[in-house]
Amino acid sequence: MAGYVSDAVIRRLPGYYRHLRELEAAGVTQISSQELGKRMQLTPSQIRQDINCFGGFGRQGYGYKVSELKEHIGEILGLDRQHKVIILGAGSIGSAVARYPTFSREGFETIAMFDVAADKVGSQVNEIPVLPMGGLEGFLTANHVDIAVLALPAAYAQDALNRLYQGGVRAVWNFAPTDLNHPEDMIVVNVHLSDSLQILSYKIAHRDND
């Protein structure tokens, strides 16, 4: 892999992987940068530049082998290994994440959920046990966890993140509607659903001005 890869290229990698997976499922074995660019609304030169960041996987005049390129991008994304996941919050968002079928197929194995609600603790979501939040530290001591999903109200998210860090978790997918303070060696990716909806609202409001 090249020493430096821009955030813009990294953000496009899941799109490459998704399109290549769809092409493979449709029986497509070979694709050119022009055809892939048309699917992804990118120029052929942008496709080649992005892929060349990680080495040359195609041949001029021949294009890319779909299955081979998909496998390489999956490796770059770390999808060739298992990731142990826990979810904090068994409400609507946490349960939706637990039930999403693609995650398990791509190597993200949810091993437990945590909640404080008495009616949720002891139940299961998609066969994943819901454990008491008070047992989080003990669970982290006994189990290796790669990623924690925060699906909690904003008021509880920072404390939960601090507990996760103390328990050795270094990667968090944050659905709480707040920005969290975290140490430099902890990776936090924020998913603010209302932000996306507000951007869509802006584009609707200003589309006649474009």
* pLDDT tens sequence across 174-199: 999 999 999 999 999 999 888 889 99
Q: What is the pLDDT of residues 128-153, one digit of tens each?
A: 999 999 999 999 999 999 999 999 99
* pTM of model > 0.75: yes
Neighbours of 73 (CB within 10 A): 23
Q: What is the mean pLDDT of residues 46-57?
A: 85
61 located within any domain: yes
Is a pLDDT exceeding 60 seen at residue 1? no
Please report which confidence band the pLDDT of residue 59 belongs to, taking 50, 70 and 90 as the band edges: low
Are 71 and 93 within one domain?
Answer: no
Domain containing 63 equals: 7-76
Given a cut of 70, whether residue 85 has pLDDT beyond it is: yes
Residue 54 binned pLDDT confidence (cut-offs 50, 70, 90): confident
User: Quick check: is 209 in a domain?
Assistant: no
Mean pLDDT of 100-119: 93
- The predicted pLDDT at position 104 comes to 87
Does a structural domain hold residue 202?
no
In the listed set 23, 44, 76, which residue is the last one of a domain according to the structure?
A: 76
In-domain check, residue 149: yes
Q: For residue 210, is it within any domain?
A: no
SS3 of residue 93 by DSSP: helix
Tell me the C-alpha to C-alpha distance, in Å, between residue 95 and each of 70, 86, 87, 152, 190: 29, 12, 9, 12, 18
Q: How far apart are the first and last CA of the chain?
A: 39
pLDDT of amino acid 56 = 67
**Alpha carbon 173 to chain centroid, angstroms:** 8
